[in-house]
Amino acid sequence: MSALARQMSFDLAGEGTHVGGYAPLRQALAAHLRTARGVVCEPRQILVVSSTRAALSSLCRLLTSPGDRGLVEDPGYFIVGRALADFGLEPVSVAVDEEGMVVTPSLPAARLAYVTPTHQMPLGVRLSDRRSAELLEWARRGDGWIIEDDYDSEFRYVGQPVAALQGSDTSGRVLYVRTFAKLLFPSLRLAFMVVPKTMAKALERAVFLNGHEPPLHVQAALADFIAEGGYAAHIRRVRRIYRRRQELLVDELNRQLHDIVDLHPPSGGMNIVVPLPAHIAAETVQAEAARQALHVRPLSYYAQRLAAPNALHLGFAALPERLIEPSVRRLAAIVRGLDLDR
Ligand SMILES: Cc1ncc(COP(=O)(O)O)c(C=O)c1O
């Protein structure tokens, strides 16, 4: 990035030269997505924006009218419900179970559904094949849109990669969204969408009107990084590091709290869910932990209208290996203290 910023060619310094995204980045992403995620698209179907929120705002601008309904996972990425409400939409909560969003034939009609099918945020479950098919059918039948947020799918540690829903959509109802906030780093401010060919031009205009394009030299740096193999190497390396951190965290929790918590480690991602017995409220653990400068979140943090299970949502991606055992020791002491208070 600094090399490109120093050179700052005319092409990268101007405006209006790469509407929709830096052309070589769109090409690099299209090639990468096909092999890594089974996403089928041409470069012109990819629109580069600064964040998932920016993508959502352009999609709402183009596709929705005030009063429309938008289905959201509950618990889920809570920003989505807020953003939809901000656009005058009515967010409708849909529960999530071990097969992902509870998609049944009686799913309410809505303009759109926002889902994290590969790895649900925050529960970490995968949308089952049955539910995926049902959701695609829901969209086809009711002219609804599915916004597929594929935020952390490349961090998968066990089993075969799960292909994106977009690849099995034959009706052009899936709008694929992905941020680099997790795969690279949040302040990069880079994300993109993949949309049907028929929508690409109109969405380019919506992105332009919103002014949501990331700087071109940043896009160019990512294009080079992907094309030169740096991105794939980065993902392999980080995957190894995160897998190890997840293993250590799960081992420590099992060792220190085996009589209290029953863990089902997820197949990937950057967080794990730690279910707690009813008499140890996750919110109380959070408050007690905060007093000791230990940052943990209850699942209820992600709840919207439905009650979330009593559990903690622990992030391990930023936790160096040497801190895992002492952190779990402190957390275990808090949980045991609350267990005794009963
Ligand atoms: C499911 C999910 N998608 C996307 C994001 C972030 O997206 P962005 O910062 O690109 O808007 C988050 C951040 O926490 C998230 O949890």
Cβ(151) to ligand 1 under 6 A? yes
pLDDT at 86 over 80: yes
The pLDDT of 225-254, averaged and rounded, is: 96
- Distance, in Å, from the CA atom of 271 to the CA atom of 249, rounded to the nearest integer, reads 10
Q: How far apart are the first and last CA of the chain?
A: 55
Helix (H) or strand (E) holding 312: strand 311-315
Position 342 scores a pLDDT of: 67
Whether 296 contacts 289, CB under 8 Å: yes
Q: Whose CA is nearest to atom 3 of ligand 1?
A: 151
Residues 6+ apart with CB under 8 A from 335: 257, 260, 261, 276, 280, 285
What sign for the dihedral angle of Cα 196, 197, 198, 199?
Answer: positive
Cα 109 to chain center, whole Å? 24
Digit-coded pLDDT (tens) for 101-143: 999 988 999 999 999 999 999 999 999 999 999 999 999 999 9
- C-alpha to C-alpha distances, 136 to 38, 131, 163, nearest whole angstrom: 16, 9, 15
Q: Output the pLDDT for position 14.
A: 80
* pLDDT, mean of residues 23-39: 95
**What's the gap in Å between 184 CA and the centre of ligand 1?**
12
188-211 pLDDT, tens digit each: 999 999 999 999 999 999 999 999
Alpha carbons 116 and 77: distance in angstroms, whole number: 9
Nearest ligand 1 atom, CA 191: 10
**Contact, 207 vs 179, CB < 8 A?**
no
**57 backbone dihedrals φ, ψ, rounded to 5°:** -70, -40
Cis? peptide before 24, omega within 30° of 0: no
pLDDT of residue 243: 95
pLDDT at 45 over 70: yes
HSE-CB at 25 with a 13 A cutoff on CA atoms is 27
Residue 330 CA to ligand 1 centre (angstroms): 29
* DSSP single-letter state for residue 94: E
| Ligand 1 mutation pick, 47, 48, 52, 149, max ligand atoms within 8 A of CB | 52
Specify the 3-state DSSP secondary structure of 200.
helix
Q: Can you give the pLDDT at residue 38?
A: 95
Average pLDDT, the chain: 95
User: Could you give the percent of the chain with pLDDT greater than 90?
Assistant: 89
Distance of CA 214 to the CA centre of its chain: 19
- Ligand 1 centre from 335 Cα, in Å? 29
Give the amino acid at 188: L
- Beta pairing class for 100-101 and 90-97: antiparallel
d(CA 11, CA 24): 12
In angstroms, the CA 195 to CA 328 distance is 43
pLDDT at position 9 is 87
